[in-house]
Amino acid sequence: MALNLHSPLKLISLICFFFPAISPVMSLNYPAVFNFGDSNSDTGGIVAGKAFPLIPPNGETYFLKPSGRLCDGRLIIDFLMEAWELPYLNPYLDSVGSPSFETGCNFATGGSTISPANAASVSPFSFNLQLTQFFRFKKKSLELLKDHEELQNYLPAEDYFKQGLYMFDIGQNDLDGAFYSLKSEEKVLALIPKLLSALKYGMKKLYDSGARNFWIHNTGPLGCLPRIIASFGKNPSDLDEFGCVISHNRAANVFNKKLHDEVCVNFMTQQLPEANCTYVDIYSIKLDLISNYSEYGFQQPLAACCGYGGAPLNYDTMIPCGVTKDLNGTKVTASACENTAEYINWDGNHYTEAANRFVADSILTGNYSDSPHLRIDTSYFT
């Protein structure tokens, strides 16, 4: 159901009728969502595009089988789509079956970077390629719709490209990879301006093609991932009071501050004057969750639910989630914890569905964003 809620009067009556206990953000109304990103928002792209073998127990909590998501269930973007009453986004790269893209398309792929991919990259589908995929998708959709009315339930109408929401959640892998390859925080920080220029370039191209609603997730506390703690947190002085790696979280903060000030505020107001930018502070939501985990009903702030090795991190680089390996003649498996809802981290690199739900719920309060879209006129609700 695509509600058109542009008129406040209509909005009030619809709310009273359909949603007696409505949350304010239900008043958001996008006919379609186009998403660019990495595994944090990949709903099946890398699995389709690279035939990446995603195995159980991925998907065990919600889809009850691997769903193309690196998670036991839904991602943040799935919960947002639910709240906006839109179907989950199908991946651009998944051609098997007859996926509908009428209300949006997902270009995100696990492992993707803002920097152009090279032969060593996990994902060849870096941001520049995701953009060219989008432009091909748009052109082809509009061409097909001209001659094939029957495809309107499968492809976004021209208006949807104008009124749609353009979401971005990318950059984490650039910082992550740079710490391994450059081995110096200073050199990692020096990369950031280039990353932001590439983002701005892409956003300008989208704007020139008619995009007006931009929604940007900043990058999370990279230094709190079990893999990063295992590799870079061997010395207690590398860690902060929550047990997270200081250098990585500092780099994430520098990236985020510039993403906010330079991209979402300066660049957008000067170069994309007719567009709106919603900047969502994922970092603060996740750090709040990790540091106050027990108040939010979790028992494990850092350890991976699905991993091998036991406390404190339950993470072993050589034995990823779901994999069985021979260790000195003994077969060991990185299996899932009993109750995934007690864990924030799923597999050492990604969050559990329970954590993703917490993050999405926090986003939807509007308390963590700088946003024209989430600024609520409370007079509608009194």
Ligand X SMILES: *[C@@H]1O[C@H](CO)[C@@H](O)[C@H](O)[C@H]1NC(C)=O
- List active site positions: 39, 347, 350
In the bound state with ligand X, the residue whose beta carbon lies nearer, of 208 and 274, is 274
- Cβ contacts of 217 within 8 Å, gap of 6 or more: 37, 40, 41, 76, 167, 168, 169, 280, 282
> How far is the C-alpha of 194 from the C-alpha of 174, rounded, in Å?
11
> How far is the C-alpha of 206 from the C-alpha of 196, rounded, in Å?
15
CB of 6 to ligand X, least distance (A): 10
CB of 367 to ligand X, least distance (A): 4
> How far is the C-alpha of 144 from the C-alpha of 150, rounded, in Å?
10
- The residue count for binding ligand X (CB under 6 A) is 12
Which amino acid, residue 362?
Answer: S
Give long-range contacts, CB 8 A cutoff, 24+ apart: 118-122. Answer: 122/46, 122/173
Closest alpha carbon to 32 in 85, 79, 73, 75: 85
Q: What is the DSSP letter of 67?
A: -
Tokens found for residue 144? 């097909």
CB of 287 to ligand X, least distance (A): 4
Which amino acid, residue 266?
Answer: N
197 lines the binding site for ligand X (CB under 6 A): no
238 lines the binding site for ligand X (CB under 6 A): no
Q: Which stretch binds ligand X (CB under 6 A): 62-70, 126-134, 173-181, 366-374?
A: 366-374
357 lines the binding site for ligand X (CB under 6 A): no
Cis-peptide, bond into residue 57, ω within 30° of zero: yes
From 372, 377, 380, 381, residue interacting with ligand X (rule: CB under 6 A): 372
Residue 101-140 contact track with ligand X, rule CB under 6 A, x = bound: ----------------------------------------
Tokens found for residue 7? 């008129």
Q: What is the DSSP letter of 117?
A: P
In the bound state with ligand X, the residue whose beta carbon lies nearer, of 101 and 214, is 214
In the bound state with ligand X, the residue whose beta carbon lies nearer, of 64 and 327, is 327
Tokens found for residue 166? 């353009």
Task: Write out the binding residues for ligand X, residues 259-278 only, by CB under 6 A.
Answer: 274, 276
* Alpha carbons within 13 A on the beta-carbon side of 68: 23
CB of 190 to ligand X, least distance (A): 28
7 lines the binding site for ligand X (CB under 6 A): no
CB of 247 to ligand X, least distance (A): 18
253 lines the binding site for ligand X (CB under 6 A): no
> How far is the C-alpha of 338 from the C-alpha of 330, rounded, in Å?
22
Residue 281-320 contact track with ligand X, rule CB under 6 A, x = bound: ------xx--xx----------------------------
> How far is the C-alpha of 184 from the C-alpha of 188, rounded, in Å?
6
CB of 324 to ligand X, least distance (A): 14
From 328, 378, 379, 382, residue interacting with ligand X (rule: CB under 6 A): 328
From 140, 327, 333, 377, residue interacting with ligand X (rule: CB under 6 A): 327
Which helix (H) or strand (E) segment holds residue 50: the answer is none
Would you tell me which residues interact with ligand X (CB under 6 A)? 274, 276, 287-288, 291-292, 327-328, 365, 367, 372-373
